[in-house]
Structure 1
Amino acid sequence: MVKEAYSFERYLNVRTAFGPHFSPDGKKLSFLTNITGVAEVWSVPLNLQAATPLWPDQLTFRGERVSSAVYAPHADVLLVSGDIGGNERAQLFLLEADGSRLTALTSNLEVMHIFGDWSPDGQYITYSSNERDARYFDVYEMEVATGERRLLLQHDGTNYVHGYSPDGSQIQVSRWLSNTRSQILLVERATGAVRALTPEPDADVRGVVYQAAAWSADGQGLYLLSNCDRQFHSLAYLDLSTLDLHYLGEDRWDVELLEVTKDGTRLAMSVNEDGYSTLTLFDIAQGWEQRQPLLTPTLPRGVVYELTWSEDGSRLALSYTTADDALDVWVWDLEAGAITRATQSSRGGIPQSSFVNPSLVHYPTFDGREIPAFLYLPAEQQQQLPVIINVHGGPEGQSRPVFDPVTQYFVSQGYAVLVPNVRGSTGYGYEYQSLDDVRLRMDSVADLQHAALWLSQSSIADSKRIIVMGGSYGGFMVLSAITTYPDLWAAAVDIVGIANFVTFLENTGPWRRKLRESEYGSLENDREFLEQISPIRSVDKITAPLFVVHGANDPRVPVGEAEQIVSALRQRQVPVEYLRFEDEGHGLIKRSNRLIAYPAIARFLEQQLASHA
């Protein structure tokens, strides 16, 4: 191994900044950063003429994760959302913009509250909540000054509330029927009358999503993203009088982000091209046909995570990262034609030149398909290496070329890291995304087998030192890989993974179960198959030493999944180490816990690979 230049602690001390939102007067920008070890709300003055970002102020001191902070349209206050211990049961708070007071607006700690929007006059907020029945999300409106609320939409389904209409008379809602099917509704604020703007997708046909809807300047239609009748999510216009949907382009990749200014005159969108983001801006004040392209900032190849416009539409804030630089907030001033880094997250004292950018590669798998992946190689040696195959969660997620301190640390230690987008991943069209649905589940695991074979055959990997690691669904992939292809792996790391599909579906948050059945299958129809492919059923085949990490408060993959696999391996005297964190949920959020878990994983892998040297 290469001698350590920087400790794992230094890599884990690289900070991130995200979640930007402009104050109504445009003079300040709120954002979230984990400088203190967990995401809190901060604010920074916007002086775009300054050579370096101004020093920000910390506004919240909860010591628990904040997930969003959004300014009111006409007042110096923010609506803040945050949970406790990673349990995802978010509560809503009102925060004075100077940080002087944080007031709870909700108090049922067993219920999820998902913020929607501020009303145009700033007197009300909307949110979705599952307080009536844990399985379903209804829509509520609250008068902020009094705390009085009323039920706007009750429905036995998953209803997420979004923006008000420009005149405040209607509220936009997305209804998710599964993780791959949704529709858009309008709710009359005065009467509660519901109008479906898009049809309910047929469960027997394919996944169809309508999302990210924003009002046009004349109020006669909505710009939105959809994959109806096509492979990729594309920009479309929905005429509200006829409900005709008209696509505005033929995209070869997913349009993944869409933001329109409050007056409907400017549109920003980001396209996911093979994992990298491409940002474009348009003046659409006279409609799409008369659109005028706007100057777009030049940035290194990376990934845009969020877009948000200032109140007057003159500036655009984006959360942006590259594989060799931290996630930060940037502000594009359209009038000045200049982009400024509004935050400057610490790189842990590590020179940026020490970080590695990946290569985009494609490797062959069992059915002749080429699987896209990002390959990170150390500079010193690029053959016969120990290799970590890091599998994303989802399943319908996508690995992107973003900064990951864990990957960067292992590469600095002489490992190669391969981050594949096996079948079932998003970003490559609906057909590719659906190739692992239900009875096809194990085909995606076979893609991992072929990743290991390709690494060995290409001489990148020492075939005796290949490790598989992943979190959430990626944790299932890890456990499935070491049970299905046990001879390929020197060691494995399972973070909040699924060991038993039956107990997972029985115990996952009730609001999630129905949404996941189109992807995983149901206990009613597919129980025998789910039992058959569950790693716990083949635990006797595991020979690779395993490291397991889980949070006790995980509502998605309950901690019992970890307990099952750890107990089974200990009974069989297979080497297994287990870290359980009582104050974490689905993944490790708090830096104090990350500083325990990841160095322990590194030591574990070092010990296991030593026997294969």
Structure 2
Amino acid sequence: MNLGTLPLLVSLLTAQPTAPSAVANTAPLPGLPNVLISGVPAVPPELERRVHQYLESRNAQLVDVTDDGKQVLISTRFADVAQLHLVEMPMGARTQLTFTPEPIAQARFLPGSANVLFYLQDVGGGEFYQVYRFDRSTGRAELLTDGKSRHEGLGVSRDGKWLTYANTARNGKDTDIYVAPTDNPRQARRVTELEGTWYPVDFSADGAKLLVQQFRSVADADLHVVDLKTGERRQLTPKEGMGSVVDARFTPDGKGIYLITDRYSDFSELYRLELDKAPYTAAPPSLTKSIRWNVQGLELSPDGRQLALDINEDGISRLYLLDTRGNTLSQVSLPQGVLTGLTFPRKRSDTLFLSLITSRSPTDVWQVDLRTKKTTRWTRSELGGLNTEALVEPELVRYDSTDGVKVPAFLYRPRGASGKVPVVVIFHGGPEGQSQPYFSALIQFLATEMKMAVLLPNVRGSEGYGKAYRAMDDGVKREQSLKDIGATLDFIASQKDLDASRVGVYGGSYGGYMVLATATFYPERIKAVVDVVGISSLPSFLQNTQAYRQDLRRAEYGDERDPAVRKVQERISPLGAVDRIRAALYVQQGKNDPRVPQSEAEQIVKAVRAKGADVWYMLALDEGHGFGKKPNRDYATMTALMFLEKHLGTPAPAAGGSGSKP
């Protein structure tokens, strides 16, 4: 043996594996070795029995439809994770196609061959999705991509000849677009090689052109067209100014496009652009000017005669049809809820498929006959045997904040409650997200079983209320947006049936930042905080989020490398003011989170514990930005409910007020 190698050999043999968590006293949960906990007590069997039915709810998300509309591909869960299933008639059996340990939510049939489909899947919630080809005739899936870089934006041309996606393979930071023949999908070629984030949007009907989006932020994007034969790329949206690109479709002849953008209005509206006139220097006529809400989705019928539009009206989805021959709009009646996944079969223009979720029922697939406007339900997802009529419907409320802002919110008031009830405020993520009335096991259990009110505010910066409202928290303006937290607490104090002395907050991702900010800047007004994959320090979050996301997030939060911006970010970051936190804290995190890294959770846990406070901590080793596996998700939900019941369930000795503001 070479004696020079001995120290190296000894170090390799004695090296200890890196601990999965820097938080003291973390240990695997009995029965769930991939979940580490610290300070979390055992779930009482009584609570576990009470919540069990709520946790058995399923969703059936529309993924794709066969060319003739006779078979529907859905993503639903029958074991631990969502998998692809086939439904061959309304209310028919759900035949499972994939049986993988990781969830699958995005897939596309190969046009002309319902036996072949392509799908995206990651490992452990890391969001480094890979492209797979699945053959129903053999039941086998084949990995088509490198297994390392992130892939997204999966699409297939209408003639079935071409596959497209974006990935980060070139340098790990920029996102390029690739096109590959479906009969030889490993022969992918790069059609954009540019700085920034680029996604494929739509193929022309003949497969010769591809719409691509250059994405800088939700508020700043451009649309281009690429000639796939020559490689020529031409920008279609104006080179000056800013605006969103929500979605776009080629017209059937490939000479024009339908585009949803807020470039010319406060709201996202629908426009038709002719390619030979682009880029436009003036605003083209809006096709949805009469609707003063965001158009948030579209799908064009194969014959090009009808556009299906998803309109976000104060958080509720409305389905409209646009007759493209006369540009006339008509509305289709649907149950009140939130739509996703508008899809026409590739060879039928008389029927439309969609997903719909309501506040009292999970996501299911519906079909609309466009001749009669009759709706047909294709799936009925289980709710653990619960009576949906006993669940709570929210009411839409608004309350005043500073700077003339009126905050819209959905309020779930428990039925049959006596006296003042505790309140759980749930902040959405994003920040450009929006709370909408959708079924949530957590919300319904709080309101129905625990008799707590649940309030979902859409504070300034939320999507759905115009781009001016969405921009109110950009960069250093985020400091002003924190005043909406105070307005939310004031609203609770103004309600005779809500107990302002028993308020808890719950939020994930940016919502996690908001709940930590509530604990920091309104310490005397809340009792309990559940932070799920949340940001504890804006500068460290921006420095440590995945490289492909950094510039996108800096456009929203401001650039932490600018000393003036960083000063504001540090001032409003909870980590720098943990001494002010008085509320009980429960932090939940996925180890593989590429968006909000594990360090954001662990630094706030350690800092709060250092000042002598008790903190519950949960770390899932096989999860990322949230919990995709049922056992992990069930445990996270049960323990969050246990935590909130512990700290909010006992009334104050005397009538409580709102407390003093910081």
Would you say same fold, with TM above 0.5?
A: yes
Distance 1:565 1:522 in 2: 22
- % identical aligned pairs: 37
Residues 174 and 211, structure 1, Cα contact 8 Å, conserved in 2: no
The answer to whether residue 603 in structure 2 is matched with residue 564 in structure 1 is: yes
The answer to whether residue 117 in structure 2 is matched with residue 82 in structure 1 is: no
Residue 253 (structure 1) aligned to one of 280, 293, 315: 293
The answer to whether residue 397 in structure 2 is matched with residue 357 in structure 1 is: no
Give the equivalent residue in structure 2 for 1:270: 310
| 3-state SS, counterpart of residue 277 of structure 2 | coil
Give the equivalent residue in structure 1 for 2:33: none
Give the equivalent residue in structure 2 for 1:299: 334
Letter in 2 for 1:418: L
Q: Where in structure 2 are the equivalents of 1:119-518 lying within 5 Å?
A: 119-146=157-184, 147-200=186-239, 202=241, 207-243=242-278, 244=280, 245-250=284-289, 251-284=291-324, 287=325, 290-291=326-327, 297-311=332-346, 312-335=348-371, 337-381=373-417, 383-412=419-448, 413-518=450-555
Residues 13 and 347, structure 1, Cα contact 8 Å, conserved in 2: yes
Distance 1:529 1:584 in 2: 32
Distance 2:375 2:47 in 1: 36
Letter in 1 for 2:298: L
Structure 2 unpaired stretches of 5+: 1-45, 653-662
Distance 2:297 2:305 in 1: 17
Q: Where in structure 2 are the equivalents of 1:517-556 lying within 5 Å?
A: 517-525=554-562, 526-556=565-595
Residue 118 (structure 1) aligned to one of 153, 156, 162: 156
Give the equivalent residue in structure 2 for 1:33: 76
Shift of 1:182: 0.5
Letter in 1 for 2:398: H
Residues 47 and 642, structure 2, Cα contact 8 Å, conserved in 1: no
**Cα offsets for 1:205-234 (capped at 9, x unmatched):** xx5112311122443211111111310000
Give the equivalent residue in structure 2 for 1:7: 50
Shift of 1:444: 2.1
Shift of 1:438: 1.5
Residues 59 and 98, structure 1, Cα contact 8 Å, conserved in 2: no
Letter in 2 for 1:298: S
CA shift in 2, pair 1:531/1:319, >3 Å:
same
Residues 255 and 275, structure 2, Cα contact 8 Å, conserved in 1: yes
Larger Rg: 2
Residues 391 and 469, structure 1, Cα contact 8 Å, conserved in 2: yes
Shift of 1:457: 2.2
Distance 1:325 1:134 in 2: 40
| 3-state SS, counterpart of residue 414 of structure 2 | coil
**Cα offsets for 1:539-564 (capped at 9, x unmatched):** 11111010100000000000100000
Distance 1:211 1:461 in 2: 38
CA shift in 2, pair 1:382/1:79, >3 Å:
farther
**Cα offsets for 1:235-286 (capped at 9, x unmatched):** 11111111243312323110111111233222100111101111111332xx
CA shift in 2, pair 1:6/1:263, >3 Å:
farther
Shift of 1:145: 2.7
CA shift in 2, pair 1:340/1:548, >3 Å:
same
Residues 81 and 115, structure 1, Cα contact 8 Å, conserved in 2: no
Residues 309 and 315, structure 1, Cα contact 8 Å, conserved in 2: yes
Letter in 2 for 1:365: S
Residues 492 and 545, structure 1, Cα contact 8 Å, conserved in 2: yes
Residues 491 and 544, structure 1, Cα contact 8 Å, conserved in 2: yes
| 3-state SS, counterpart of residue 320 of structure 1 | strand
Distance 1:532 1:576 in 2: 23
Shift of 1:65: 1.5
Letter in 2 for 1:379: R
Shift of 1:598: 1.2
| 3-state SS, counterpart of residue 443 of structure 1 | helix
Shift of 1:179: 3.0
Letter in 2 for 1:15: R
Aligned length: 596
Residues 58 and 99, structure 1, Cα contact 8 Å, conserved in 2: no
Give the equivalent residue in structure 2 for 1:601: 640
Structure 1 unpaired stretches of 5+: none
Residues 116 and 162, structure 1, Cα contact 8 Å, conserved in 2: no
Residue 62 (structure 2) aligned to one of 9, 19, 34: 19
Distance 1:299 1:35 in 2: 27
Shift of 1:31: 1.0
| 3-state SS, counterpart of residue 403 of structure 2 | coil
Give the equivalent residue in structure 1 for 2:139: 100
Distance 1:409 1:544 in 2: 22
Residue 105 (structure 2) aligned to one of 48, 62, 67: 67
CA shift in 2, pair 1:273/1:315, >3 Å:
same
Distance 1:480 1:209 in 2: 29
CA shift in 2, pair 1:66/1:201, >3 Å:
farther
Letter in 2 for 1:263: D
TM-score (norm 2): 0.87
Shift of 1:20: 3.1
TM-score (norm 1): 0.94
CA shift in 2, pair 1:293/1:532, >3 Å:
closer
**Cα offsets for 1:493-531 (capped at 9, x unmatched):** 100000011110111011111011121010222222212
Residues 60 and 99, structure 1, Cα contact 8 Å, conserved in 2: no
| 3-state SS, counterpart of residue 441 of structure 1 | helix
**Cα offsets for 1:81-115 (capped at 9, x unmatched):** 1111111111111112457121111132x311114
| 3-state SS, counterpart of residue 229 of structure 1 | coil
State which drifts further: 222-231 or 537-546: 222-231
Distance 2:111 2:506 in 1: 44
Distance 1:562 1:360 in 2: 33
Residues 337 and 358, structure 2, Cα contact 8 Å, conserved in 1: yes
Letter in 1 for 2:63: P
| 3-state SS, counterpart of residue 175 of structure 1 | strand
Residues 551 and 559, structure 1, Cα contact 8 Å, conserved in 2: yes
CA shift in 2, pair 1:199/1:487, >3 Å:
same
Shift of 1:293: 5.3
Distance 2:418 2:318 in 1: 30
**Cα offsets for 1:48-70 (capped at 9, x unmatched):** 5xxxx110200011121212111
CA shift in 2, pair 1:358/1:154, >3 Å:
same
Residues 238 and 246, structure 1, Cα contact 8 Å, conserved in 2: no
Residues 183 and 201, structure 1, Cα contact 8 Å, conserved in 2: no
Residues 31 and 69, structure 1, Cα contact 8 Å, conserved in 2: no
Residue 57 (structure 1) aligned to one of 91, 95, 117: 95
Residues 184 and 211, structure 1, Cα contact 8 Å, conserved in 2: no
Distance 2:182 2:292 in 1: 44
